[in-house]
């Protein structure tokens, strides 16, 4: 059974999208590998090592984490739900993003908290709950291995993912987990590369992504423009 997710993905023609796809070496809009950035600082082998885990998901910010559909719910019905959701949501201005280390990995994140962004993410979570299949015991145990807080365990059992609602944090992953030395190297490299395209960012659409089987990479199944206000 495929899995689906709701992401924020920049427009495929935007410099931000091209930056994210390049550092991950994968473009989920066309399901193709792409060249890593040409830089004397970092080799292609280093980029490939850093991107080994996140490239499976493509460049994105998670709004509703990957989930299976309830039995009897079709992809066409899911698409209708996502289209309906997009008509309810307003665009959210994020301003300029910043490259930081979050735990062991490097990511782009919003420079300041944003109540409108939190509301948008919560609406994505809640709107699709009725058609989400319950989390399997194996997936629950895998999540619990991350040493979640009591509240995060509650959210995991309610929504199949622990980082929703008040635990949500907008981020666009650029590397997998790295040791401290390599993380510092990756952080400086990503800051330098992002500075070349640093731009005001607005969530202007939500993206439906699909993973056909557990070892497949996610691909974009549809991008749905949000209201202007």
Domain boundaries, the chain: 3-225
pLDDT in tens, 3-47: 999 999 999 999 999 999 999 999 999 999 999 998 988 999 999
* Residue 72 φ/ψ region, left for φ over 0, alpha for ψ in the -120 to 50 degree band, beta for the rest: left
Look up the CATH number of domain 3-225. Answer: 3.90.1140.10
The arithmetic mean of pLDDT across residues 125-138, rounded, is 95
pLDDT in tens, 43-89: 999 999 999 999 999 999 999 999 999 999 999 999 999 999 999 99
Helix-strand-coil split of the chain, %, nearest 5: 40, 25, 35
95-104, 109-118, 188-197, 213-222: range with lowest mean pLDDT: 109-118
| pLDDT value of position 229 | 62
- Average per-residue pLDDT for the chain: 95
């Amino acid at each position: 059974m495929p899995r689906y997710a709701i992401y924020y993905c920049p427009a495929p023609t935007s410099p931000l999208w091209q930056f994210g796809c390049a550092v991950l070496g994968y473009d989920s809009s066309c399901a193709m590998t792409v060249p890593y950035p040409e830089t004397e600082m970092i080799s292609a082998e280093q980029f490939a090592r850093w991107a080994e885990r996140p490239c499976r998901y493509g460049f994105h910010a998670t709004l509703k984490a990957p989930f299976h559909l309830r039995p009897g719910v079709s992809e066409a019905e899911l698409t209708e739900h996502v289209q309906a959701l997009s008509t309810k949501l307003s665009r959210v201005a994020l301003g300029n993003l910043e490259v930081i280390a979050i735990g062991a990995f490097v990511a782009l994140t919003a420079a300041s908290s944003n109540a409108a962004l939190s509301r948008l993410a919560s609406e994505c979570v809640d709107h699709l709950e009725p058609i989400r299949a319950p989390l399997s015991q194996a997936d629950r145990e895998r999540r619990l291995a991350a040493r979640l807080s009591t509240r995060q365990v509650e959210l995991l059992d309610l929504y199949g993912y622990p980082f929703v609602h008040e635990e949500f944090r907008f981020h666009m992953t650029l590397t997998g987990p790295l040791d401290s030395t390599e993380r510092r190297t990756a952080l400086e490299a990503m800051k330098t590369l992002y500075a070349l395209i640093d731009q005001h960012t607005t969530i202007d659409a939500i993206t439906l992504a699909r993973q056909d089987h557990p070892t497949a990479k996610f691909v974009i199944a549809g991008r749905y423009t949000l209201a202007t206000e």
